[in-house]
Amino acid sequence: DSGVTQTPKHLITATGQRVTLRCSPRSGDLSVYWYQQSLDQGLQFLIQYYNGEERAKGNILERFSAQQFPDLHSELNLSSLELGDSALYFCASSKTGTSTEAFFGQGTRLTVV
């Protein structure tokens, strides 16, 4: 167990809908990363937050957004969902905004139908 908690584990929703994925980092970690894993794109970095502030941005669509709250948990919001958004979404955490070791949660499997 990495200590990173993601909920829900599975999510099935219809096209056009909006969902929120939640991540609680390891105790003491200030930085949260979101990654998307799909068969065609592999593991792709979406966005990083450090102590409530956006730190780095990757291949995140405009329909997606994230935030990190004062208690350091993070939420990834996916809107206007398309079939192609079906994927595993992972959260990882690290101690600071420039720590190297990152620990991954178990992921949320999103299925858009």
Partner 1 sequence: GENVEQHPSTLSVQEGDSAVIKCTYSDSASNYFPWYKQELGKGPQLIIDIRSNVGEKKDQRIAVTLNKTAKHFSLHITETQPEDSAVYFCAASRRNSGYALNFGKGTSLLVTP
The residues that touch partner 1, with contacts defined as CB under 8 A, are: 2, 4, 31, 33, 35, 42-45, 48, 50, 55-56, 58, 90, 92, 94, 97-107
At residue 53, what is the residue type? Answer: E
**Owner of token pair 């099935």:** 12
Name the minimum Å distance from CB 61 to partner 1. Answer: 16
Residue 74 near residue 26, CB atoms below 8 Å: no
Pair type for strands 108-112 and 10-13? parallel
Name the minimum Å distance from CB 16 to partner 1. Answer: 28
Helix (H, G, I), strand (E, B) or coil at 10: strand
Give whichever of 49 and 78 is closer to partner 1, judged by the CB atom: 49
Give whichever of 25 and 105 is closer to partner 1, judged by the CB atom: 105
Name the minimum Å distance from CB 9 to partner 1. Answer: 10
Give whichever of 14 and 39 is closer to partner 1, judged by the CB atom: 39
d(CA 43, CA 5): 19
